Amino acid sequence: MAEQVSGLYNGRVLVADQTEQSRSKGVNQALEQVLIKLTGNSKIMQLPGIQKAVSNTNNFIASVGYTKLPARLPADLSEEPANQPGFSLQVSFSAQAIDQLIRWAQLPILPAGRPKLVFWIVRDDAETGRQFVTEQQFPDFTQRFEQIMQDRALPYQLPELDLEDQLSLSVNEAWSMRNETIEVASQRYAADGWVLLRFFTTTSGQVRGSWTYKLGDQRGFDDVRAENTEVFVGLAVNELVDRISAQLTYVPQVDTSKLLVQINQVDSFADYQAVLAQLQSLKLVRSSNVSAVEGSRLFVTVDIDGGVDLLISALERSGRLVNQTSEMARFSGNLEFDWMVE
């Protein structure tokens, strides 16, 4: 019952103005958004080599646009005027370039068909007691939560919290994380799974809480602590989505029915892109897909119109590839070349 998610290659961030400095910073943030959406990993930019691979964002951009934000009323101004976002920056990235990056870095892929989750969120307050979080009572929390879920591109629903919900799941049952009761209450929403998030603020101002979820046969639980509510919701939701996504991602495997080409000495992402461009420029190559990256060795599966010898000749004529294929390997459909840097 997974939902197909669109806009995975599009990022949107708020920027102060249309200067080159703001644009550059905004594009970097938008690219990070897209990589997080596609891989399901909120810490993707911390992985070795990723920052360097995306240092030239122009290699990935398809289009950039701005939308001017409406003026904010004085009562809404919590930032200095110079720091207030004045524009929404929308960046569309090349799916081909992004996919090449993901394959080159051997990153897991979170499929576009994603499960829908119903979120039950409970807050315990010393003065008002325990309450389900609603948009009407906790607009700032809800807005922050919904923005994170949209950024992560994971389908979700907040419960109606009407009489039917109240009869199915009391706030105390939710706080106690009674899985069976939460399961029954969630069935009316026909979601793929459910999440229970609870939190409270200590006398020192620290926010503490925990989450639990059930998705199919998968279950998870964790505790979260943060210095304030805004930081808490970011930590809690991102850690939760990371945990769920890790169970859904995959790394494409070699298709043994295709011709396999091994290219050695692919030492950089620029080399990686150049090798793929060389293969894709050949008319006899019907399709090519990266199947693995092992150090400086790149493995590509290809479909060709013609024989193996035609492909070997075409690659040799490129001037960038030196044939290292043994006779035995050639007959088994496994080709090997060394990449020559210009």
Exposure class string for 278-308: b at 16+ Cβ within 10 A, else e: bbeebeebeebbbbbbeeeebbbbbebeeeb
Q: Which amino acid, 302?
A: V
Q: Is 80's pLDDT higher than 60? A: no
pLDDT at 109 over 80: yes
Instruction: Please state, rounded to an integer, the average pLDDT across all residues of the chain.
Output: 90
Residue spans of alpha helices (H) in 40-178:
50-53, 95-104, 139-152, 163-168, 171-175
In this model, does residue 330 exceed pLDDT 90? no
Lowest-confidence region among 17-31, 203-217, 256-270, 301-315: 301-315
Q: Same structural domain for residues 146 and 237?
A: yes
Please give the average per-residue pLDDT across 83-95, as a whole number: 90
Q: What is the pLDDT of residue 75?
A: 47
Query: Does 217 lie in the same domain as 128?
Result: yes
Q: Domain total for the chain? A: 3
- Does residue 119 share a domain with residue 99? no
Q: Is 326 within a domain?
A: yes
pLDDT tens for each residue of 26-47: 999 999 999 999 999 999 999 8
Which of 64, 79, 104 is the last residue in one of the domains?
104
pLDDT at 253: 45
Q: Which domain holds residue 11?
A: 3-104
Q: Is 59 exposed, middle or buried (0-12, 13-18, 19+ CB in 10 A)?
A: middle
Residue 58's pLDDT is what?
92
Q: Is residue 109 part of a domain?
A: no
Determine the average pLDDT of the residues in 172-187.
98
Do 119 and 242 have their domain in common? yes
Q: Inform me whether the pLDDT recorded for 255 exceeds 50.
A: no
Q: Considering the domain boundaries, does residue 44 fall inside one?
A: yes
As a whole number of angstroms, the distance between CA 301 and CA 286 comes to: 11
What's the start-to-end Cα distance of the chain, in Å? 50
Assess whether pLDDT exceeds 90 at residue 5: yes
Q: Which residue has the higher pLDDT, 79 or 215?
A: 215
How would residue 57 be classed by pLDDT, with cut points 50, 70 and 90?
very high
Other C-beta atoms closer than 10 Å to the C-beta of 132 total 20
Report pLDDT digits (tens) over 119-171.
999 999 989 999 999 999 999 999 999 999 999 999 999 999 999 999 999 99
Q: Kindly tell me the sign of the dihedral angle through the C-alpha atoms of 139, 141, 147, 149.
A: negative
User: What CATH code is carried by the domain that includes residue 228?
Assistant: 3.30.160.100
Residue 12's nearest CA partner among 93, 94, 95, 91 is 91
User: What residues contact 58, with CB distance under 8 A and at least 6 apart?
Assistant: none
Q: What is d(CA 114, CA 131) in angstroms, rounded to the nearest whole number?
A: 29
Q: Compute the distance between CA of residue 279 and CA of residue 318 in angstroms, rounded to an integer.
A: 10
Same domain, 199 and 232: yes
Residues 100 and 119 in one domain: no
Q: Which two tokens stand for residue 329?
A: 């390997």
Boundary of a domain, candidates 246, 275, 304: 246
C-alpha–C-alpha distance, residues 216 and 194, integer Å:
10
Is 139 in the same domain as 76? Answer: no
Strands 156-157 and 117-125: parallel
Alpha carbon distance 194, 31 (integer Å): 29
Mean pLDDT, to the nearest integer, of 200-210? 96
The answer on 275 and 173 residing in a single domain is no
70-84, 92-106, 244-258: least confidently modelled range = 70-84
159 and 96 assigned to the same domain = no
Query: Is 253 within a domain?
Result: no
